[in-house]
Amino acid sequence: MLLDDASAEFHDFFERHHAELARLAHMLTGEADAADDLAADALVALWHRWDRVREAAHPVAYARGVVANMARARIRALTRERRRVTLFWARVPERVEDTDVAAVMDVRRALDRLPFRKRACVVLRHALDLSEKDTALALGVSVGTVKSQTSKGTAELQRLLGARATEELTGRRI
C-alpha cells in the first residue's frame, strides 16, 4: 500500500473515531481539557503503528485500549503529584460540595471514586453503549471480567448515588 493510501485510510479512521476517543478520555479522566490531548496523543501513537493497527482484527478496540491506558497513566501521575503536594503543604483534604450540586457533578464524583477498571467498564458499557465483547477488547480483559467489573461498579454507583440515579445513569432497572 502506498503512503498516500495509508494516510487517507488513517485520516478516515481519525475522522470517524476522534470524537468517540475524546469522549472516552473525558469520561475516564473527568478532564475536558485533557480529553482532546489524550485522544490526539493516542491517535499519534496509532499513526506510528498504523501498518500494524490497520491489520488488527478490531482497530477501534485497539484505539480504545490505547486511550484507556493513556488515561490510566495520566490518572496515576496526577494522583502521585497530588500526594506529593499534599505531603509538602500538609493540607487537609478539600471539603465535599453540598448535596445541591448538579447531578452531573454527583455522577462525576461517584465515577472518580471507582477504581479504574470498574470505571472503564461502566463508562464503556453504559456511556458509550459498547457490548461486553467490545469493552473486553478495548480493555484487553475477558468478557467475564467486564461482566463482573461492570456489575460491581454499578453496585458501587448505586451505593454512592442511590438506586434511582443509577437506573437513570445506566438505563437499567436495578
Domain boundaries, the chain: 1-94, 96-174
Which CATH code fits 1-94?
1.10.1740
pLDDT of res. 162? 77
Grid cell for residue 136: 473486553
pLDDT for 24-82, tens place per residue?
A: 999 999 888 889 999 999 999 999 999 888 888 899 999 999 999 999 998 888 887 87
Give the model's pLDDT for residue 10.
92
Assess whether pLDDT exceeds 70 at residue 92. Answer: no
Long-range contacts of 118-121 (CB under 8 A, 24+ apart): 118/149, 118/150, 118/152, 118/153, 118/156, 119/28, 119/153, 120/28, 120/68, 120/149, 121/146, 121/149, 121/150, 121/153
Check if the beta carbon of residue 25 is closer than 8 Å to that of residue 39: yes
Residue 98 has pLDDT above 70, yes or no: no
Query: Which has the closest alpha carbon to 125: 114, 12, 59, 159?
Result: 114
Mean pLDDT of 96-114: 70
pLDDT grade for 106, boundaries at 50, 70 and 90: confident
Segment 108-142, tens digit of pLDDT: 888 899 999 999 999 899 888 889 999 998 899 99
Average pLDDT of span 139-167:
87
Residue 31 CA to chain centroid, in angstroms?
Answer: 11
pLDDT at 167: 66
- According to the model, what pLDDT value does residue 11 have? 93
Per-residue confidence band for 169, with pLDDT thresholds at 50, 70 and 90: low
* The pLDDT value given to residue 118: 94
CB 46, CB 53: distance < 8 Å: yes
Please report which confidence band the pLDDT of residue 23 belongs to, taking 50, 70 and 90 as the band edges. Answer: very high
Task: Judge whether 1-94 and 96-174 match in fold.
Answer: no
Taking a C-beta distance cutoff of 8 angstroms, is the pair 164, 158 a contact? Answer: no
- How far apart (Å, rounded) are the C-alpha atoms in residues 144 and 167? 22
What fold does the segment set 96-174 form as a domain? Arc Repressor Mutant, subunit A (1.10.10)
- CB count within 10 Å of CB 81 equals 10
